[in-house]
Amino acid sequence: LGRPNILISLGAGQARRSWPHSHVDELVKKLVQIYPGIVITVIGPKSLISVETDELFTGSKNLVNLIGKTDLSNIVWLMKRADMLVSNDSGLIHIASSLKLPTVVVSSHPLNGDPWHLNSPNRYHPWKTRFVCLQPEKLLDDCFNSCRSKQAHCIKSITPDQVLSACSQLITGI
């Protein structure tokens, strides 16, 4: 595939469900290295606009930073033109699913957590589209049944290389 178009969504309803921006930055750099013609669009709510996100997600010819600059209709428009979505477990994975957009879900819910917990991908994974759901191997520290931290915690154990592998798996099927 010569020029994949990937949409990356930052943010989730709770900080513990958001994959760290530094991990996303590393993923972006690796994707650009492997697919030099790639187009990556990063989206997220206005609350994520910061010096950090501006520094991380600006300055590359392969990257378009639309953090805080989209609404739901813009996002749907972007999804219709994308080859894949990379997202935390959020409502956008279900919109992508309805559009049959292949999706990589980065979930905070560990594999050894309660399989029917409210945050479990067993309950809320994308339907009727190709997807890969990545989860932490195990609950960390004081977590029980699911990640209980107020900040990104268990989700931090999902590496950029794991997400890159999932992206590559879906890109080859495009």
What pLDDT, in 10s, does the model give residues 114-159? Answer: 888 777 777 777 778 899 999 988 877 887 878 677 777 778 899 9
For the entire predicted model, the pTM comes to 0.91
User: Quick one: pLDDT at residue 56?
Assistant: 86
- pLDDT at residue 32 above 60? yes
Check residue 158 and report its DSSP letter. S
The answer for residues whose C-beta is within 8 angstroms of residue 135's C-beta and 6 or more apart is 107, 108, 109, 110, 111, 121, 158
* Residue 173, pLDDT score: 67
Q: What is the mean pLDDT of the chain?
A: 87
Q: Give the position of tokens 């279900």.
A: 94
Q: Over the stretch 54-94, which tens digit does the pLDDT of each residue have?
A: 888 887 899 999 999 999 999 999 999 999 999 987 789 99
